[in-house]
Amino acid sequence: MAEKFISMANYYYLVTITVVLGAIAGYLFRHWLSQRKIGSSEKRANELLKKTKEEANETLIKAKNRALDILEKVKLDEQQRQEQINRHEERLAIREERLEKELSEIDRQKNALLDRVEKIKEIQKNVQALEKEAEEKLQKTAKLNLKQAKEKVMSMAEKENEEEILGLVKKLEQQKQEEVEKKSSDMIAQSMQRIAASQAEEFTTATVALKDEEVKGRIIGKEGRNIRAFQKVTGVELIIDETPDAVVISSFNPLRRQVAKVALERLILDGRIQPARIEEIVVKVKEEFSDKIRQLGDDAVYELSITDLDPQLVYLVGMLYFRTSFGQNILRHSIEVANIAAILAEELGGNVMLCKKAALLHDIGKAVSHEVEGSHVEIGKKIMEKFKVDPQVVEAAIAHHEDYPFTSLDSRIIQVSDTLSASRPGVRRENYEAYIKRLEELENMSNAFEGVKKTYAIQAGREIRVFVDAEKITDLKARKLAKQIAEKIERDMTYPGEIKVNVIRETRAIEYAK
């Protein structure tokens, strides 16, 4: 039993030893494997590190080379800039030296001029003292003050040299007149030829042709209700008299007259003439005319190449087509004035576009003058200011009737252009009574001057012939009188174009043979 126990113990002991030895052997084997793997990893790491160091060295060498190249380039650029700076400094130094010399010369000349000025002032003082002394001596000797002496000397000189003075005045006036007339005639002729356009007079009536006399009865309507409705809606007067196959439309407003004419023609063509239909047709025609007015304004600004006007202002320009002045269509007149002004501005060195705008808008107040109180110049000024028109354009436009002073060459160009357009033969017609009144006013104005015997207005008021008393008026005074009469006419009268003042002094010597 004991032996069996001992053998079992030995067995367990051997097993234990075997297990321990196996464990130790396994541990040692794993340790050996780990050491082997570690050695392989370290080897690879060392190789990788070596390779990385080699690449880093190569990169560092390339970077150093690149840095050296850049540094060389920077040094070269810096050297070039420094050379440029040196050259600039040399030039500046030369200029500064030259400028100092010039300033020194200027200072020297300035001092010399100041010395001369002082000397001149001293001479002037001496001259003034001598003049005063001579004047006092003259007054004591002649017993006349300075003003009286001047008047007497001038009077004596005028009497002694009247013929010479008169001849010189005539010569200078003739030369000046010929030069001015030649230049102005060329410019005006060129302007008028380039823009010449026919003008049709506008009257206060329009005629609508009828197919037969029966239509008149339908226009009048039962107890006159149709004609009353038509006149109420259109604001015109229908004249249905014994004129065969025609109805006359009367109105001082051209727009109303044209609207009424078109509406009546459509009603006659339609055949249904009754108050409701009349109102419907008139409203429709008014809308069409509103579009036509807008188109007329657009056409006007397009023709003149004006592009920066407010659309509402362009509409008012179109309204001018239905306004007249002495029978002249205002829109056609304004376009004509703009063309003339553009040509004159080109010749005289004015602002062409400014003149075009001012000329087109110079009568814009007439588009609403029947609706607003005031002159068309004042109304036009307010309209242009409302639509923010260039102030220079406004100043040029409002001076065309000389209600405002001329502020520039452009404003004078507008005034001349307006006069040219208005005074062309056949363009305007004038009321007979106003025409006679203007002629009488011309004659009375000239007759008021001392020494005038009689005045005659001829050439439709374009010329006045003034006959003077030869005993009271000399040839020199006659010229002065002509100038005085012309100035008074310019100051006190309004007229288109120009008026020639012709002063006539006639001397007769009569003897009888016995």
* Percent of the chain at pLDDT exceeding 90: 0
For residue 513, the cross-strand partners are none
> Taking residues 473-499, what's their average pLDDT?
82
Over the stretch 191-243, which tens digit does the pLDDT of each residue have? 444 444 444 444 456 777 777 777 777 777 788 888 888 888 888 887 776 66
In the predicted structure, residue 9 carries a pLDDT above the cut 50 = yes
What architecture (CATH level 2) is domain 205-282? 2-Layer Sandwich (3.30)
Domain ranges across the chain:
61-141, 205-282, 304-423, 432-505
| Confidence label for 189 from pLDDT (cuts 50, 70 and 90) | very low
Quick check: 453 and 469 in contact, CB under 8 A?
Answer: yes
| Encoded tokens for 485 | 């009469």
For the domain made up of 432-505, the CATH class stated in words is alpha beta
Task: Give the confidence band of 109 by pLDDT, cuts at 50, 70, 90.
Answer: confident
Q: Classify burial at 86, counting beta carbons within 10 Å of its beta carbon; exposed 0-12, middle 13-18, buried 19 or more.
A: exposed
What is the arithmetic mean of pLDDT over 35-61?
80
Domain 304-423 adopts which CATH fold? Hypothetical protein af1432 (1.10.3210)
- The mean pLDDT of 238-263, rounded to a whole number, is 78
In one-letter notation, the amino acid at residue 469 is D
pLDDT value of position 196: 45
274-329 pLDDT, tens per residue? 888 888 888 888 888 888 888 888 888 888 888 888 888 888 888 888 777 766 78
User: Is there a contact between 254 and 331 (Cβ–Cβ < 8 Å)?
Assistant: no
β-pairing verdict for 324-325 and 452-458? unpaired
Taking each helix axis from N to C end, the angle separating 376-386 and 391-398, rounded to the nearest 10 degrees, works out to: 170
- 490-507 pLDDT per residue, tens: 888 776 667 888 888 877
What confidence score (pLDDT) does residue 100 get? 86
CB atoms within 10 A of CB 513: 3
| pTM, full prediction | 0.47
pLDDT digits (tens, 9 = 90+) for 314-325: 888 888 887 777
